[in-house]
Structure 1
Amino acid sequence: MGPENATPDTKIARRRGYLSVQSRLLIMLLAASLVSTAVVGAVGYISGRESLRAEVVDKLTAMRELRTGEITALLGEVQREAALASNNASARGASVALNAGWEELAQSPLTAAQDAELTGYYSDTFLPRLENLTGEDYGDRAFVPESSEGRTAQYLFTRQDGAADRPAADPGDGSTYTRAYLDADAYFSDLVQTVGYTDVVVTNLDGDVVYTAAGGVDLGSNLSEGPFRESRLAQGIRDVVADNSVDAVVTTDIEEWTPALGFPVMWVVSPIGDDDGITGTIALQVPIQWINDVMTGYGKWQQQGFGTTGETYLAGADRLMRSTSRHLVETPDTYADAVIADGTTAETADRVTTAGGTVLLQPVRGTAVDDAIAGRTGTAISTEYIDGESLAAYAPLEVDGLDWVIVARMDADEAFAPVTDFARTLLVSTLALMLLVSILSLLLSQSFTRPIRRLATAVRRVSDGDYDTRVPDHGNDEFADLARSFNDMAAGLRVRQDLIDHQRTENDRLLRNIMPASLAEKYREGEETLAERHDDVAVVFAEMVGFDDYARTLVGQDEILALNELTRGFDEVAARCGVESVRTLRGGYLASSGLTVPRVDNARRAVEFAVGMRASVERFNTRTGATLDLRVGVDTGSVTSGIVARASLAYDLWGDAFRLASRLRRSGEEPGVFLTDAVRLRVEGLFDLADAGSVEVDGTTTAIWRVV
């Protein structure tokens, strides 16, 4: 079959596994430009992302430090005011007078009617309000003082409203305690009215509460033995008394204070006295709102750079909040659902919304709080009590007497929104640049390879037999030189092909079977030597791999049927590739190209035939489930053909090319198509080849190449 009759399958097989020059050039340009663009984009993204992340972290850290300074300053100011309020003549005088009046109260206990009236205040007024707010039940006399002086003090000055911002009313009993209480109230209630404290509590050294500005049920109680003995206030008073120094100041953690109907309170305690000794203690009840105002920035989160989700809060070692939540302040209707979604119990969320505050109610968790409680300072992406993951800056709060931590947090999505926006912008820009580079690379590659494509098309046409093909040869560059050389080659091939076609016509007339016409003529003339030498012949010698093992699985004539099917497949490939079949073996196949019909491209046809044989075997394997393969040797050169058995008319080949092709097929155990160096030189660029070592034939070492 001549080039002009090449089928589409042959052309596809010829190009299979190759990339065109344009494709390679395009890949090269794209790889260089896209990799450069990607590297620049990646470096820009990493550096930009880290810079933006560092900026966000620094901003949140600055917010934490700002709030730390403000809350520390607030508590420090309260401690100084407590020390000043306790170490002046008014406080010392009030303490001495209250203590003296307290001792006299033991001489005037309440009557039965007065005691019943006091009990009625608890059962009818205080306890119902307390039980309604806390949900707990208390006995009628649970908070009634044990001592008679305590009950008398409550009867005289405990008020139903518990208001500390107005002076106490004179009960009119004329007792020393009443006069001392009213005198002390003139001084201590001024602290409430002018400074803003919620309450002022004064005790004697035995722990008896001898005065409260609010007139609550803690008045008259003994903080060493009474119902409030386990309170933080009681412990703070015991600490300052045990210190026995007028300069001592104790700040207590926030606690739920029963006399304040269970609302959270905080105390700063200082002893009352002078260098001669102390006479009692004073405790200033710090408004929780002061702490909330500092931690919330008076509700101006966005103006202070906290965005829509940022906030700072305080927490104790018990992992409960010590300040209010921004979300509760801004979105009280959705607060419960939000915190429940992040692990808070429904009961706790309901108590928070009912109380209108998160202090001592809302639990907090996560890396930030855990590390801060452990004494570490830093930043982390941490789970919080709300809104899932947050960027948090945390630190322990350095305030004497308080085991608190401070956390500045912001939702991770909002905190890193600039990083996300930057990444999105950079990605879009990089993709746009890559698209532009791809278009430019495509245009450049097309411009560069257009002459090559024209030459490739012309070469394919020539290989298909159109030797009249010409390509434009305008210009003075290398492509023009190549075009002129190609046109000269095509003209020469035209002449040569005309000669070959003429010779083939003559041969076709003489050939009757598989042998050359000259041999046929000699045979007819009765000559004994029926052999001819042929130059420039490609020899293909193939050996089946695995057929013996496969044949053992067959029965009867199935082996012959299998061999026939394989041979038919080889014959079809030979016809398609223009290769002459010489003889068929049980486990092999011998063929040549350029023997009976001279070919200018016999090496290419021989290699295509070898590759096609392996493809035919692969199709047989797919259909039958066999695992056969071929070892094929291909060489080109001189051979001798002839009839080796006159009686049986056996036609065969021998010679150097035959021996080398036969040697190649037995050069190793690995299946494949193996070429000599002479074949490689003729087909290089048409097939992908790999170095397969070398063989030695007749003392000569020949390089082997394998088609991959």
Structure 2
Amino acid sequence: MSSTDVTGSPRPARWGLAAKLFTVLALLGAIAVLVTGVLGYFSARDALEKAVFDQLTAARQTKSRQVETYFRTIQAELRLLATSKMVVDATREYRIAVDQLDRSGASPELRQKVSDWYADNFLPRITRVFGREPAVADYMPVGAAPYYLQYHYIVANPHPKERRKLLDDAGDGSDYSRLHAVYHPVIRAAAATVGFFDLMVADVKSGRLIYTVEKEVDFTTSLQVGPYRSSSVAEVVARCALSPDRSAICLEDFAPYAPSNGAPIAFMGAPVIDQGVVIGVLIAQLSNEEIDNVVTGGRRWRQEGFGNTGETYLVGPDYLVRSGPRTFYEDREKYFAELKFVGTSDEEIATIQRYGTPVLHQRIDTHATRAALAGVEGTGEITGYRGVPTLASWGPLAIPGVTWALVAKIDSGEAFAPIAQLRQNLLVVGGLALLVVVATAAWLSRAMLGPLRELTAGVMRFAAGDYGTSVRGSGSASAGAGANLQAICGVARNDRLQVGLAAIDDDAVGPAMTCQRLFEEALGRRQVALLAEPEFDCVADTVDGAVEMHPLPADLDVGFVEMPFPAYRALAPVETLQQ
């Protein structure tokens, strides 16, 4: 069906030029806004991700240097103490004093008091920690000297457990107590200054701990027989006893240590050499709290730039943590809920609760820890130990004697929070820009196609026969187009007038010539008066009939007086005669 209805008026098309122009302009603007927004978003995301990884890597490297420096420092200090004359003399003299006590023996009453103390004080603590009740005999000391010294410095110590080290002289009159009163204050101060949880001296010959600062239940016990023969401290003593090198350092990784209530303890030893012979081992007991304090920055994560979810943590070769995760310290309830969420067994959770620490009890096996323990440094977005997407930087630690990895991480949600805000801003700005584009496209389509639409309507009126049509234009281009259309209409009117008048001329010229010939004959016979009237009527009738047969246009305002045709020349004499 045509786009013109039965009345002859044009009907707008369903998908006109204006709609097409508007759609093209709007699409071009929308594509420009979309491409700009998408490129800006991903560029900003990549830049922020790189900045976060750089920050995490810098934090990890800083923490790595701090941990490595801490171990280098305590190794140097332990080596310095082990080679000092005071420690060499104390080791040699303590060995002699303990041998004397072994020969002197311990009374049954004294042994019973020590056994009762173990049953009443030590075993309940171990039972709570280990979740099982061991036999008393499994932890009792071996030999007379251990019973004697543990009675005077542990059982009969007037100070509570945390302050037993304040006892310098037990007052029993033994050579050991005399030596203890001399060396103990100095060694105790050295341990406190360096930051050792405990300093111990082992006799490599008997395999006994002949001196300790803290006076725990391992004091004077044997590392070759008894409950501690498989402990980390026994391993340190065995290794250092075979190293007659004053620069040698033996380090054993963290492990639960029963005398310290099952707390994770690492041991570092240095040989005590007298005249080229290893007579003892000076052992530093490293509390996990010192390492944890270094790794966590004193638990000041926000102050160190880790935000709300960032942290660094240590992992050993068994994938068990060597420092506490952040959530454990900030929100215990949330921490255990997250462990359960990632599938940690109830038994493992109960173990962490019993020991009061996740160190050596929480397993973190992720892409980051596996790569770092394999000696590979890297960064990437991984699924963290809490089961959430995490940005992480990982790498190994260069500490002789242990295989540790350090990971710095932050939750992706927090790291990309500025990007989320940027995305919202881009959506708002993009929406506003799109509105501007749409409005501009609508204005341009009207401004460009309004005159064209008016011109098209004029052309269609002209095609329908309206030769008097006119077009208004607001711009130079549209005004020129309208003038051209009007000129075309004027030419068309003149052409139509010429056609109409030509038709009149063809129909009127024959009768007019006939009338003229009759008129001339009448003049020849001198009968003008008689013939003028009927011949004029004949001419008039003939012209009227021709006009009726070929009507002129309604707007053609012209009379016979203006006609330059022979009909007028024929009628003029007649009209004159009638006058």
Q: Does 1:59 align with 2:55?
A: yes
**Displacement, 1:482?**
4.4
1:62 & 1:221 partners in 2: Cα distance? 45
- Structure 1 residue 255 displacement after superposition: 1.3
Q: Which has the larger radius of gyration?
A: 2
1:138 Cα deviation after fit: 0.4
What aligned pairs does 1:244-263 form with structure 2 within 5 A after superposition?
Answer: 244-263=244-263
- CA shift for structure 1 position 252: 2.0
Match of 2:218 in 1: 218
Conserved 8 A contact 2:102-2:144? yes
Q: Where does residue 420 of structure 2 map in the other structure? A: 420
Contact 2:164 2:215 in 1 (8 A): no
Contact 2:270 2:281 in 1 (8 A): yes
Q: In structure 2, how many angstroms separate the alpha carbons of the residues matched to 1:142 and 1:285? A: 23
Change (3 A) 1:487 1:167: same
SS of alignment partner, residue 307 of structure 1: coil
TM-aligned CA deviation for residue 204 of structure 1: 0.7
Check the 8 A contact 2:3/2:11 in 1, yes or no: no
The Cα of 1:443 is off from its aligned counterpart by: 0.6
Per the alignment, residue 111 of structure 1 pairs with 107
- Using structure 1 for the length normalisation, give the TM-score: 0.63
Structure 1 equivalent of residue 557 of structure 2:
none
1:75 aligns with 2:101: no
Counterparts of 1:194 and 1:2, CA distance in 2: 103
Alignment match, 1:544: none
The answer to which structure has the higher strand fraction is 1
Answer yes or no: is the 8 Å Cα contact 1:53–1:419 preserved in 2.
no
Shift of 1:361: 2.1
2:94 pairs with 1:98: yes
RMSD value, Cα: 3.2
The answer to which structure, 1 or 2, has the higher relative contact order (CA under 8 A, 6+ apart) is 2
Distance 1:460 1:210, change over 3 A: farther
User: Structure 1 123/441 Cα, relative in aligned 2: closer, same or farther at 3 Å?
Assistant: same
Contact persistence 2:77–2:194 (CA under 8 A): no
| Residues 476 and 420 (structure 1), Cα distance of their counterparts in 2 relative to 1, 3 Å cut | closer
**CA contact under 8 A between 2:451 and 2:474: conserved in structure 1?**
no
Partner of 1:295: 295
**Aligned to 1:254, what secondary structure does the other structure show?**
strand
Secondary structure in structure 1 of the residue aligned to 2:264: strand
Change (3 A) 1:459 1:233: farther
Q: CA deviation at 1:202?
A: 1.1
Does 2:277 align with 1:281? no
Counterpart Cα distance in 2 of 1:209 and 1:489: 122
Per-residue CA deviation, residues 134-168 of structure 1 (Å, 9 max, x unaligned), is 21220011111333444444334334744466333
Higher normalized helix content (fraction of residues): 2
Cα distance 1:368–1:471, how it changes in 2: closer, same or farther (>3 A)?
Answer: farther
Q: What's the offset of the Cα at 1:469?
A: 8.8
Partner of 1:436: 436
Q: Which residue matches 1:44?
A: 40
**What TM-score do the two structures reach when normalised by structure 2?**
0.77
Aligned residue for 2:338? 338
Amino acid in the other structure paired with 1:91: V
Q: Quote the offset at 1:273 in angstroms.
A: 1.7
Report the alpha carbon displacement of residue 458 of structure 1 after superposing the two structures with TM: 5.3
Q: CA deviation at 1:441?
A: 1.7
Q: Secondary structure at the match of 1:255?
A: strand
Q: Secondary structure at the match of 2:322?
A: coil
Alignment of 1:533-612 (within 5 A): none
Distance 1:324 1:2, change over 3 A: closer
Letter in 2 for 1:306: F
Aligned twin of 1:29: 25
Alignment-mate amino acid for residue 203 of structure 1: A
Q: Which runs of 5 or more residues in structure 1 are unaligned?
A: 500-708
Tell me the alpha carbon deviations over residues 107-131 of structure 1, each in whole angstroms, 9 at most, x when there is no partner: 2222222222222121121101211
1:168 is matched with which residue?
167
CA distance in 1, matches of 2:338, 2:7: 72
Deviating more after overlay: 348-357 vs 66-75: 348-357
The reply on whether 1:445 has 2:441 as its aligned counterpart is no
What amino acid sits opposite 1:128 in the alignment? P
Letter in structure 1 aligned against 2:154: T
Q: Residues 241, 489 of structure 1: CA spacing in aligned structure 2 closer, same or farther, 3 A cutoff?
A: same
1:166/1:4 CA distance change after superposition, 3 Å: closer
**1:197 and 2:196 are equivalent in the alignment:** yes
The equivalent of 2:312 in structure 1 is 312
1:386 aligns with 2:386: yes
CA distance in 1, matches of 2:56, 2:396: 16
Give unpaired runs (5+ residues) of structure 2: 500-579
Distance change in 2, residues 1:232/1:34 (3 Å): same
- Secondary structure of the residue aligned to 1:390 is strand
1:621 aligns to what? none
SS in structure 1 opposite 2:166? coil
1:34: Cα distance to partner?
A: 3.4
Displacement of 1:483 after TM fit?
Answer: 4.2
